[in-house]
Every structure is written in structure tokens, then in C-alpha cells.
Structure 1
Amino acid sequence: MEYRYLGNSELKVSAITFGAWAAGGWMWGSTDRNEAIQAIQASLDLGVSSIDTAPVYGQGTSEEIVAEAIAGHSRDKIQILTKFGMRWDVNQGELVGPSKDNSGKDITLYRLASKESIIYECEQSLKRLKTDYIDLYQIHWPDTTTPIEESFEAVAQLVKDGKIRYAGVCNYTAGQLVEAERVCPIISNQIPFSMVNRDNDLENIPFCQANNIGVLAYSPMERGLLTGKIKNGQQFAEGDHRATYKYFKPESIERTNAFLKKIKPIADEHGITLSQLVLRWTIDHPGITIALAGARNAEQAISNAHASDVKLSTEQIEQINRLIQSEL
């Protein structure tokens, strides 16, 4: 496994980091708790030392699963990355809209990053994660109802109190990141990035590169689309958000699968899966520090971890990049 420092910090994380959104079940058509735990433990066994989660993933379920999975491991060998700023238990902040929890109960989501809310959320996450500190604490989404200065004054206080080691952001623009940095050192930005979704290559990734800020690429496999296993007519479980997600429209699936067919010979040459090729390409991309890779079971987790072992030549990367530009 490769390990990399986030930005200019001393926080060293695994290049393939376990993404625990799907493990929480929410928006993924539920979860099998035991399989999720086994997936995380299989990752740990192969050197995946970093786990990214959030309170909203299953309304606490994902963080609880992470705690159970890492029990018995040396805490200082594992990096817990979690978030704040998405509430389902209050009617405050920026309205996101209706959703359902894992039991099918109606909930309403808000983006809330007030000082009081952040302090409260941190305490709740520490309890669910059964730890006394969080390695990287990230705002989940910008909250337009709270000044950025107020949010990161609270985060800076948590750092001072020893509750968190480092602060990060998610889904922030370069301008928002600069504003947050005026109040609290920011070591990373977690943003969507994949072969089919490269919008952040225009500004955010170059900005982070220039300012020595780590980039955590989420959805690098575009929620399963880039595995090559998604076909037109795919039936998703009830509550699985991918059923209406834009990249899962028939024309997008066809175009993506045609592209994957063209890069498959490179995967075959290395004796690896398309998923492993996609993850390796992602962590080789300029400006990307780590790729967040979700897994529903141990088999998927093992496959993801081994993507770090792959060595792509410069010519192969350039070939993939040319095909991305022409096909996607």
C-alpha cells in the first residue's frame, strides 16, 4: 500500500482510503452490517489505514460500523476521517430536502455549520466512533446560512481542545477554501473526481496543487459505473440513489461501457480488473492525493486495496487520457 501526506501536514494516509458511505446503507438501498464490517477489516489487513465516513451516512450507522470494525486495532495506526454539517435531527440551516432513513422513515436534511452545531456533532461522532479524537474533521458541504468564519472558529477550537487533529473541507470552491484558511489551517479538500466527472480539474485541483492542499477524490469509480458491471436496464434496490443519477442514464452507460472496452486491454496486460485500473489511474492523476473507494463486501475491499500495487507506464496513462478526451 502507498501512503501519502495530506497537504503540508503530518497526517499520513493510505492512497486507497476506505469510503464508508455505502457501508452506512443510506441512499444505497440498505446495508449488511456484518459484510460492511468484514469489508473494512479486509481493507485494514491489506494496509488500508484510512477510513472516510460521516454522521449522515445511515444517520450514525456508518460511524458505528467503523467503530466496530476497528475495535482491537491500534488507534494510532488508523486514520479516521469524518465530517460535520449535515443534520437530519434539527430544522435549522440550509434546507437540502426530504430523504428517508434506513428504516424507510421520512427525514429532512439540512446543511448546518454553526458553532454550536459543530461542537455538538463532534461529541456525537466521538461517541459513535468510540474514540477520543478524529484525525481529519471535514465540513461536508458549504452552509450558506452560517459565515465560514464562524464555522472554522469552532473547528479551530476543536483542534486546540485535542478533539480533532486536522481540519479539511468537502465540496468547497477555491474561494471558500481561502476564506476558511484565514481562520483555521486547512489540509485537504474532498471533491468528486472520476474519468467521467472531471469538472474539478478546471480550478479546484490546480488550486490545491499550487497551495499544497491535499485532494481526496470521492466517487472515483462513479458509484460503480466505471467497474464495467453496470448495463442498461440495471435494476437498483429501493432507496438506491443511482436509479435517478445522471451518469446512470442509458446513453451515459452505453458511452462509458464503450470507453471501458477500449481501456480493458491495459487492465488485461496487468492482470487486473477495470476497477483496479480506474483506481490506479485516479491516484496517479496530478493533484490527487488519495482515492476514496467504497466496498459492500470483503471481496470488493480486497480488490480496491490491490489497486495500489499496480504500476502504470507513462505511455499507458497517456493512452487512457487520450481515450477519455475522445470518448467521454
Structure 2
Amino acid sequence: MQYRQIATTDLKLSAITFGAWAAGGWMWGGNERKESIAAIRASYDEGVTSIDTAPIYGQGESEEIVGEAIKGIPRDEIQILTKYGMRWDVAKGDFAFKSKNNQGQDIDIYKYAGRESIIKECEDSLRRLGTDYIDLYQIHWPDKTTSIEETMETVAELIKQGKVREAGVCNYNVEQLMEARKYIRLASNQVPYSMVKRDIEKDVVPYCIEHNKSVLAYSPLERGLLTGKMKPGYQFAEGDHRANLYFFKDENLRRTDAFLQKIKPIADAKGATLGQLVLRWTITQPGITIALVGARNTKQAKENARTMRISLGQDEVDLITNELDQLQLMKDA
């Protein structure tokens, strides 16, 4: 495993970081709690020391699972990344969307990052995680009803109190990044990035490179699309949000599979899976510091973690990128 420094901080994260969204079950058609705990522990055994979670994932369940999974591990050997700013228990801030909790009950999700909310969320997260500090505390989504100044100054207070080590953001554009860094030493921006979603290469990545901010790429396998395991006609479990995304319509599954088959010989030559090859390509891209990858069982967890055992030459990276540039997915598929 490689461990990469986050911006100019003394925080280092494993290049493959465990993404615990699916572990919370919410929007993924459920998940087995014991399997999720086992997956996190299997990742750690393979060198994955960093875990990314959030209160909204399962409305606290993901953080509880992470807390249980890390029991017995020396605290300074792991890095906990969590978030704030998405509330399901108050109707305040910027309404985001309607959803259902893991019990099938209707809930409304709000983006809210006001001072009192952040303080409460931090205490709740510390309790669920069973720790007294968070390594990287990130706003989950921009909240247009609260000033960035109020939000960042509140996190700065938490850093002074020792409850948070470093501050990060998620889903921020360049303008928002420029505003946030006026009030706090900003370490990172967590944003969606995959072979089929590369928009951030235009502006966010160049900005972060220039200003020495780390980019944490989430959904690098595009929620399973790029593993090579999904073919036209794939059936999702009830409650799985992917069923309604254009990426997973049959025509796009066909086109993606055709692309993956073109690069499969590279994976085969290295004794790697397609998922590992995709992740390795992702982590070699300019400005991408780490890749957040979810796993629903120990097999997936080990496979993801072992990605860093393979290497790619520049000629192989270029070959993959050239094939990728010919892939076009249909948004109205």
C-alpha cells in the first residue's frame, strides 16, 4: 500500500481508502452489518488504514459500523474521515431530496452547515465512531443558506478544541474552494471522479494542483459500473439507487463492457482484475491523491486493497486513456 500526504498537513492516507457509504445500507438495497465490519477489518489487514464515512449513510449506521470495526486497533494507526452538513432529523437549510431510511420510512434530506448544527453533528459522530477526534472533517455538500465563512470558522473552532485534525470539503467548485480557504487551512476536496466522469479535470484538479490541495476521488469504479461484472440486463436489489442512473441502462452497460474488454488484456497480463486496473489508472492521474472505494464483503475489500500491488507504465496508462477517449455514454439511454 502507498500512503499519500494530504496537502501540506502531516496527515497521510492510504492511496486506497475504504468508502463506507454502502456499509450503511442506505440507497444500496441494504447490507449485512457483520459483512461490512468484516470488510473494513479485511481492508485494514491489507494496509488500508483510512476509512471515509458520513452521518447520512444509513442515518448513523455507517459511522456505528466503522466504530465497531476499528475497536482494538490503535487509534494512531487509522485515519477516520467523516462529514457534516446533511441532516435528516431537522427541516432546516437547503432542501436536497426525499428518500427512505433503512426501515423504509420517508425522510427529507437537507443540506445544512450552520454553526450549531456542525457542533451537534461532530459530537454525534464522535460518539458513534467511539473516538475523541476526527482526522479529516468534511462538509458533505455546499449549503447555500449558510455562509462559507460561518461554516469554516466553526470547523476551525473544533480544530482548536482538538476534536478535528484537518478540514476538508466535498463537492466544492473552484469559486467555493477560493472562498473557504480564506477562513481555514483547507486540506482537501472530495469529488466524484471516474473513467466515465472526468469533468473535474477542467478546473478543480488544476486549481488543487496549483494551490497544493488534495483531491479525494469518490466513486472511482462508478458504483460498480467499471468492475466488468455488470452486463446488459443486470438486476438491482429493491432500493438500490443505481437502477435509475443513466450509467446503468442497458446500452451504456454494453458500451462500457466493450471498452473494458479492450483493456482487459492489460489486466490479465498483470494477474489483476478489471476493477484493480481501473483503480490503478485512476490513482495515477495528475492531481488525484487517493481513491475512495467501497466494499460489501471481504472478497471485494481485499481485491480493492491489493490494487496498489500492480504497477502501470506510462505507455499502458496512455493506451488505456486512448481507448477511454473513444467511449461515449448516452445520457438519455
Matched ranges for 1:23-172 at <5 A: 23-172=23-172
Q: Distance in 2 between matches of 1:324 and 1:293?
A: 21
Pairwise CA distance, 1:8: 1.0
Deviations along 1:12-43, one digit per CA (max 9) or x if unpaired, are 00000000000000000011000000000000
Q: 1:191 is matched with which residue?
A: 191
Q: 1:175 is matched with which residue?
A: 175
Aligned length: 328
Pairwise CA distance, 1:178: 1.0
Q: Distance in 2 between matches of 1:248 and 1:6?
A: 33
In structure 1, list runs of 5 or more residues that go unmatched.
Answer: none
Pairwise CA distance, 1:327: 2.2
Pairwise CA distance, 1:238: 1.0
Q: Distance in 2 between matches of 1:146 and 1:251?
A: 41
Q: 2:331 is matched with which residue?
A: none
Deviations along 1:280-310, one digit per CA (max 9) or x if unpaired, are 1111111000000100000000000000111
Matched, 1:299 2:299: yes
Matched, 1:277 2:261: no
Structure 1 SS opposite 2:135: strand
Q: Give the aligned residue type for 1:94.
A: D
Q: Distance in 2 between matches of 1:327 and 1:183?
A: 41
Q: Distance in 2 between matches of 1:4 and 1:76?
A: 16
Pairwise CA distance, 1:217: 0.3
Matched ranges for 1:210-249 at <5 A: 210-249=210-249
Q: Give the aligned residue type for 1:70.
A: I
Pairwise CA distance, 1:324: 0.9
Pairwise CA distance, 1:171: 0.2
Q: Distance in 2 between matches of 1:327 and 1:12?
A: 34
Structure 2 SS opposite 1:108: strand
Structure 1 SS opposite 2:223: helix
Q: Distance in 2 between matches of 1:255 and 1:215?
A: 28
Q: 2:318 is matched with which residue?
A: 318
Q: Distance in 2 between matches of 1:234 and 1:318?
A: 30
Q: Give the aligned residue type for 1:156.
A: A
Q: Distance in 2 between matches of 1:162 and 1:288?
A: 28
Matched, 1:288 2:262: no
Q: Distance in 1 between matches of 2:57 and 2:284?
A: 28
Instruction: Give the alignment's TM-score, normalised by structure 1.
Output: 0.99
Q: 2:8 is matched with which residue?
A: 8
Q: Distance in 1 between matches of 2:108 and 2:228?
A: 34
Q: Give the aligned residue type for 1:240.
A: D
Structure 2 SS opposite 1:222: coil
In structure 2, list runs of 5 or more residues that go unmatched.
Answer: 329-333
